[in-house]
Amino acid sequence: MFKRKKLLIALLMAIIGVPLFLSDQNNRLVVTEFELEGLDQSHFGELKIVHLSDLHSKSFGSKQRKLLNRVEELQPDLIVVTGDLIDAKKAESEAPLHLMEGLVELAPVYFVTGNHEWWSGDFGQLEMNLEQIGVEVMRNDYKTVHLKKGQLNIVGIDDPAIQSNQSEEITTEQHLSVIFENELIEAENYTILLAHRPEFFALYQEYDVDLILSGHAHGGQIGLPNNGGLIAPNQGLFPEYVKGMYTGKSSKMIVHRGLGNSIIPQRLFNRPEIILLRN
């Protein structure tokens, strides 16, 4: 009888505990900080940039209040969003616009597309809505951003899913070429590239950028030791670029592990994050 009671208690705890654990993994936000090397406070003052990615139409509280409160606490000077704000299967959701409406009240917001913006088949309407809100939608162009004492370049490229008749790498290279070969970018400025896909890290480094901010990989969905992940779109099993900072020959890349989910509905040891970059 005693053993049976212990078994029932253990079973009851599992029934209650497992759903709570899974909900926590999908919904409890974590802030991850990185140093912005190369931006000296003596020239720029204290600078804080918040990086968000891969919302996939998810809601964090009524009208995104939980997420917006966490971002507001960080007091950003600039906010960047690197694609998949919407999920193609939930493109009619108001959650993405609620988020962006709240973010523009906190700091200037710069956005680039992900694959789901193009898969939705109606990015034109979303783009118009974002611009009306006051979001800078970066479509293969750049802006020189004046912040406190200094200035930096923000470069933003469309996700290659915009094209379907050639390889995604070729499309990405064409987008970069449009900017760096035809535009007069102020090369002396620190340059941040916003690009949804991390798997093209080697290609990005062929251009004069200091830092790449990316997403798409969803942190590998299931977190593994040594900064690894189980699976990522376009990289398959045990992908190379899933989360955190990667150092290349000429640039660094920071990959956001995402806020929402898409095809795979559950995260494990890989909670949704807000990235804070500071000098």
Length of the chain: 279
Comparing CA positions, the residue from 234, 232, 257, 225 lying closest to residue 244 is 257
Question: Is residue 73 in a domain?
Answer: yes
Alpha helices in the chain (DSSP H): 2-27, 41-44, 65-74, 95-103, 115-119, 123-133, 168-182, 201-204
User: What is the rounded distance in angstroms from the CA atom of residue 258 to the CA atom of residue 242?
Assistant: 10
User: Is 7 among the domain residues?
Assistant: no
What per-residue confidence (pLDDT) applies to 78? 96
Strand-pairing partners, residue 191, are 153
d(C-alpha 84, C-alpha 67), whole Å: 16
Cα distance between residue 68 and residue 73, in whole Å: 9
CATH assignment of the domain containing 163: 3.60.21.10
Residue 11 located in a structural domain: no
Distances (CA, A) of 71 to 29, 68, 105: 11, 5, 11
Number of structural domains (the chain) is 1
* Dihedrals phi, psi of 19, to nearest 5 degrees: -60, -35
φ/ψ of residue 41, rounded to 5: -60, -25
Tell me if 36 is assigned to some domain: yes
pLDDT at 187 (0 to 100): 76
Q: How many CA within 13 A on the CB side of residue 162?
A: 20
Coil, helix or strand for 261?
coil
Instruction: Give me the domain span that covers residue 50.
Output: 30-278
How would you write the pLDDT of the chain (279 residues) with one tens digit per residue?
667 666 665 666 667 768 888 999 999 999 999 999 888 777 778 899 999 999 999 999 999 999 999 999 999 999 999 999 999 999 889 999 999 999 999 999 999 999 999 999 989 999 999 999 999 999 999 999 988 778 999 999 999 999 989 999 999 999 999 898 876 777 788 999 999 999 999 999 999 899 999 999 999 999 998 889 999 999 999 999 999 999 999 899 999 999 999 999 999 999 999 999 999
What's the pLDDT at 41?
79
Q: Decide if 234 is inside a domain.
A: yes
Residue 5, domain member (yes or no): no
Q: Is residue 12 part of a domain?
A: no
233/47 Cα distance (integer angstroms):
32
| Rounded Cα distance, 170 and 176, in Å | 10
The contacts of residue 43 (CB under 8 Å, 6+ apart) are 149, 150
Query: 20 in a domain, yes or no?
Result: no
